[in-house]
Amino acid sequence: MKRIIFLSLIPLFLVNNVFANNQKEHIDITAVSLATLTNSSFCYSLRIIYYPNGQTKEQGCQGHYNAAGISVGNWYEYDLLGMPVRTNYYHPDEFGKDYKITTTYDKNGKVLTKKIYNYANLYETEEKELNEIPQ
């Protein structure tokens, strides 16, 4: 019953947070149209995947960029106890300016590594580590 109540609240959360703007109370159709026309990225669906024990395994935002449905913004991965394992920040942009930042954590939640890569899934290219964020 608790899960049903929680799941029924998700659409309310999504409507209020779909563009990562807590001030909005509705979907801004103008923003969607503008993002589509200018090839800007935007979030339209929160995705949460659970372990069988009910703990969150992964959560992040399914978004849109350049007529493609892709991951945008922060995606979080957790272990069976709910501790962070990895965070991926996805930044879709034109080819050569696209990137993702992957941060890994130890069992205590301390940062182990933080690396920058090209956003390989966006342009179906080979993933390569970058020295800096592309401009």
Quick: pLDDT tens for 9-22: 444 444 444 444 33
Quick: pLDDT tens for 88-102: 999 988 888 989 999
Mean per-residue pLDDT, 45-59? 93
CB-based contacts of 12, cutoff 8 Å, min separation 6: none
Band of residue 74 on the pLDDT scale cut at 50, 70, 90: very high
Strands (E), the chain: 42-50, 56-65, 68-78, 84-91, 99-105, 111-117, 129-130
Quick: pLDDT tens for 107-123: 998 999 999 999 888 88
Cβ–Cβ under 8 Å, residues 92 and 122: yes
Phi and psi based region of residue 32 (left: phi greater than 0; alpha: psi -120 to 50; beta: remaining): alpha
